Amino acid sequence: MTTLQHVLCVEDEPDIRLIAQLALETVGGLRVSLCAAGTEAVEAARRERPDLVVLDVMMPGLDGPGTLRALRTHPETRELPVVFMTAKVQPAEVAQLMELGALAVVAKPFDPMTLAQQLREIWSRR
């Protein structure tokens, strides 16, 4: 698959889920699956088979990094590319997140008019 078509968004805040859907589906023309908790992400990923997973970092229960680790332990989702989304974008924090094996770190708040394009660019560089 050379173009990005289907994204799974894991985000606990309903506000952000809605606007991410707007950004990726309506503006970006991508297929979007939504998931409200890290604990459901693995199941959702297996079921929906997205090309890319966007993970919020700060979530109650299983956080972003924890979710990534969970995805990596299952054979079906081990190779799934992941992008983190976070309001903390200090160089040290970003480096830490990248070291976990994410494709990229996207800053919050994101611009709903350009998020899809951003993800496409990240995807094309992978």
The site for another protein (CB under 8 A) is made up of 13, 15-16, 18-19, 22-23, 26-27, 29, 58, 86-87, 90, 108-113
Closest approach, Cβ 68 to another protein, in A, equals 19
The least distance separating another protein from the CB of residue 22, rounded to whole angstroms, comes to 5
Q: Which ranges in the chain belong to alpha helices (H)? A: 14-21, 38-48, 64-73, 91-99, 115-124
Give 25's strand partners: none
Rounded to a whole number of angstroms, the minimum distance from the CB of residue 17 to another protein is: 11
Nearer to another protein, 1 or 92 (CB): 92
Contact between 42 and 76 under an 8 Å Cβ cutoff? The reply is: no
Shorter beta-carbon distance to another protein: residue 98 or 113: 113
Question: How far apart (Å, rounded) are the C-alpha atoms in residues 79 and 126?
Answer: 12
DSSP 8-class letter at 2: -
User: In angstroms, rounded to a whole number, what is the distance separating the alpha carbons of residues 23 and 35?
Assistant: 16
Residue 25 or 48: the one with the smaller Cβ distance to another protein is 25
Instruction: Report the alpha-carbon distance of residue 38 to residue 67 in Å, rounded.
Output: 5
Kindly state the smallest distance separating residue 73's Cβ from another protein, in Å. 28
By beta-carbon proximity to another protein, the closer residue of 75 and 109 is 109
